[in-house]
Amino acid sequence: MSAHLDRRSFLRTTAAAASAAMAFPRIVRGAGKRKLRVAIVGVGGRGGHGLGMAKSEEIVALCDVDTGRLGGAKKRFQNARTYQDYREMLERRDDYDAAIISTPDHQHYPAAIRAIRAGKAVYCEKPLTWSVWEALHLAAEAEKHKVATQLGNQGMGGWGWRVAYDYVEADAIGEVREVHTWTGSHGGWFDDGVRTPKGEDPVPKNLNWDLWLGPAPMRPYKKRVYHPARWRGWIDFGNGALGDWCCHLLNAFYKVLEPGLPVSVECIGQTGPAIDSYPKGKTVKWEFAADGDRPAFDAYWYDGTHTPPRMPGLEEGRKMGKAGSYLVGTKGTCWVVGSHNNSAVIVPEATRKAFGKPKRSAPPSRGHEKEFLMAAKGEIPYNAPLSHFSYGGQLVAFALMGNIAARVKGKLLFDPKAQRFTNSAEANKLMTRKPRDGWYVG
């Protein structure tokens, strides 16, 4: 199957999905009456969102390495069985229909792959996986087992990318030649540009540190350095600003153009090295090849101390904001506003007014979480959710190549079909890693 899907592909998929659902009305009606039996992996932080998402269903199992957080969730869902090790929960019991995964990045793949291979539906928080290889492999496994999946990039349910899609489809900005995406401060969520601290602190009684590390290399526990919620900037556990925001910010152009995997990636500027944690700022450039009627284009990412060039056509006095993206075409520019693709407009304002509203061609949203639950129940096809892993896996894989580029200097050439870099053994090595004993899942 080609890595590229043309701009109309998801409309055809949506239409086919609707036809498929109509073709099996008895199955759909029967499935829809029963509540899903849900297993929750990670109940703190974003896990609270997962609990809220599943509260209308039947939560049968709860897992967290922190017994303090686990106990709090147990009070809310008293009939659920509790676990600290998701391997035990996902492998030894079969009485669940879906898993919702809200752990640190490095635990996403080993949890999700176990559920998928058990034939269960999976909703996984962004950025889906810790590594490029994991993202591509998880996408392939989800398709192989034909289970309902959804990446937790909630902006997919918003209007911003849909309006941008309509503008591009209506040829309002011409052929897209460049895309620029940025995010500023990290909001205090994590540290970057720092080295691993020396020494160790006593592990809290409520925390199983060995299970928290999971597949990652062993290291001593340090208070207020990794847990809770400080892991994002550390290379062994998270993916920094790019991993934290790619699924929201890069999703707009990626869904509009569906370009598949890039042919090159390069970190063309960064503030500080990427050794133990990610740089304080960086600029990444990807090159995407032409495909069908879509010409080749370049995509740029800026985070932290790095900022994008001013948007072509933006009037003096208008601010671009702390996060967003814009598509530069041969006729004009489309600005997708905000961190979660809140809206989209053509700039300058005079051009937007002259063009008017584009014809609506993107489908309305069912609701990001709702469409996953519908697919898991069989009310819509397993691959109907717009951020199903076949799509989300490629989005995350291409984005995380930017983190590899921050660690391996120079322009890295990539073969989308072979899914490997062609000019760097070091870059290929960083596409994955060997997990600790007991955590390997091939």
Q: What is the pLDDT of residues 132-151, one digit of tens each?
A: 999 999 999 999 999 999 99
Domain annotation covers residue 217: no
Dihedral pair phi/psi, residue 231, rounded to 5°: -80, -15
6 pLDDT exceeds 60?
Answer: no
Domain annotation covers residue 231: no
Percent of the chain with pLDDT over 70: 91
Q: What is the pLDDT of residues 425-442, one digit of tens each?
A: 999 999 999 999 999 887
Domain annotation covers residue 249: no
Which CATH number goes with the domain that contains 50?
Answer: 3.40.50.720
- If pLDDT is split at 50, 70 and 90, which confidence band does 27 have? very low
C-beta of residue 81 within 8 angstroms of C-beta of residue 74: no
Domain annotation covers residue 95: yes
| Torsion sign (Cα): 285, 289, 290, 291 | negative
83 pLDDT exceeds 80?
Answer: yes
- If pLDDT is split at 50, 70 and 90, which confidence band does 187 have? low
| CA–CA gap between residue 51 and residue 60 (Å, rounded) | 11
User: What's the distance, Cα to Cα, between the start and end of the chain in Å?
Assistant: 23
Amino acid at 126: K
| CA–CA gap between residue 153 and residue 125 (Å, rounded) | 7
Locate all alpha helices (DSSP H) within 170-282, ordered by sequence.
Answer: 209-213, 240-249, 251-257
**Residue 127, domain extent:** 9-156+366-397
Domain annotation covers residue 96: yes
Q: What is the pLDDT of residues 204-258, one digit of tens each?
A: 999 999 999 999 999 999 999 999 989 999 999 999 999 999 999 999 999 999 9
Domain annotation covers residue 40: yes
| CA–CA gap between residue 276 and residue 402 (Å, rounded) | 16
Domain annotation covers residue 147: yes
- If pLDDT is split at 50, 70 and 90, which confidence band does 20 have? very low
- If pLDDT is split at 50, 70 and 90, which confidence band does 200 have? very high
Percent of the chain with pLDDT over 90: 88
Amino acid at 417: K
Q: What is the pLDDT of residues 264-291, one digit of tens each?
A: 999 999 999 999 999 999 999 999 999 9
* Count of structural domains within the chain: 1
Q: By C-alpha distance, which of 188, 199, 203 is closest to 233?
A: 188
Domain annotation covers residue 383: yes
Three-state DSSP state, 255? helix
